[in-house]
Amino acid sequence: MAGKVLINIENRYIKSVVLKSLYERNFDFLEVLDENDLMLKLDIFRESIIFYIIEINSREYEAQYNLIKKLKSNVTAPGFSIMAIIHEGTSEIVSGAKDAKIDDVFLIPEKRELLQGSFNKRLDQFIKKFPSAIVNNPEWIEYRKNIVSAFSENEDLKREIKRAGRGKYPVSFVMGRIFGAEPEKIQDFYRRLKSVLRDTDRIMNYDSRTFVIVCPFTPKENLMQVENKIRGTCEQLFGRNTLFKRLDMYGATYPNDGRSVEKLVELCEKGVHDSIVISGIREPLNELSREQLEEYKRMLRLYKE
């Protein structure tokens, strides 16, 4: 598939029309359950999200528009476009969409049989604004998969593991992922973190929001000390975790958890992914609907299938 589209549509018929149109245009899709679920999926799938389609509910449109404004005003939020599907063209709802800076509005036609054709035309116009390299290049969604391979080919890390094998000492890896911070502040975070780590520890970029700390001579039982240094530095600069700003971490140690860079990094990425999913569950488990529980289980299985 060429990219992911977030959808939040309650009406079954409208959803079937939208999903058919997306499928015909080779888009994958992710359904959004609520605000927490939206932020969770933005965090996990940000690099592959192209746009968001939301059905505006006449009873809840003010809350929906407020959330969209929050996303649009947040400089650290992903710069994807939003299409709103509106049932009633009342002045309040239409002007509210404009005020929320929604990129495109699709008004549902009165005649049901016109819906599929009208939506197809509007969607084709909407996606013209996206670079063809993003919409049509199948290699684009392979980006995150390729990161692990490229990182595991780092010759310095391979030599570090070989030296550890010969010298029979442990090497610990801690992966951290920062969500909701401006790029310049992430660089400041790296500088501050370096000052509290040992000279032998190294900070390495994994992607634009993810880093890996490589700690020679650090056994698995001391991983918590490294994580506390990372967490303390992050809280000093950004404050504690919130819905819009968060640090997720996971650590693995050679030789306890794996004997190759690729295996250790893979374990760290799985752990960070699961941490993001679990931290996104803000309600007590006994209050979650069956649909929400199944959705969280599905996301936790992404790395286990």
196 and 180 assigned to the same domain: yes
Residues 114 and 23 in one domain: yes
Residue 287, C-beta contacts closer than 8 angstroms, at least 6 positions apart: none
**How many Å apart are CA 108 and CA 55, to the nearest integer?**
10
pLDDT tens digits along 96-146: 888 898 989 999 988 888 999 999 999 998 888 765 444 444 443 444 444
What residues make up the domain containing 38?
Answer: 4-137
This prediction has a pTM of 0.57
- Residues 198, 124 share a domain: no
Q: Are residues 242 and 155 in the same domain?
A: yes
Q: How many domains does the chain have?
A: 2
Could you tell me the sign of the dihedral formed by the alpha carbons of 79, 296, 186, 70, in that order? positive
pLDDT, tens digit (0-9, with 9 covering 90-100), for 217-276: 999 999 999 999 999 999 998 888 776 678 889 999 999 999 999 899 889 988 888 887
**Among 137, 170, 202, residue at a domain's last position:** 137
Residues 132 and 36 in one domain: yes
Asked if 85 and 99 sit in the same domain, the reply is yes
| Judgement on whether residues 75 and 214 belong to the same structural domain of the protein | no
Q: Which CATH number fits the domain that encloses residue 263?
A: 3.30.70.270
Q: Are residues 23 and 68 in the same domain?
A: yes
Which one of 108, 137, 166 terminates a domain? 137
Q: Is the residue at 12 inside a domain?
A: yes
Tell me which residue of 78, 53, 56 sits closest to 65, measured CA to CA. 56
Q: Does the residue 305 lie in any domain?
A: no
Same domain, residue pair 133 and 147: no
Of 113, 137, 161, the position where a domain reaches its end is: 137
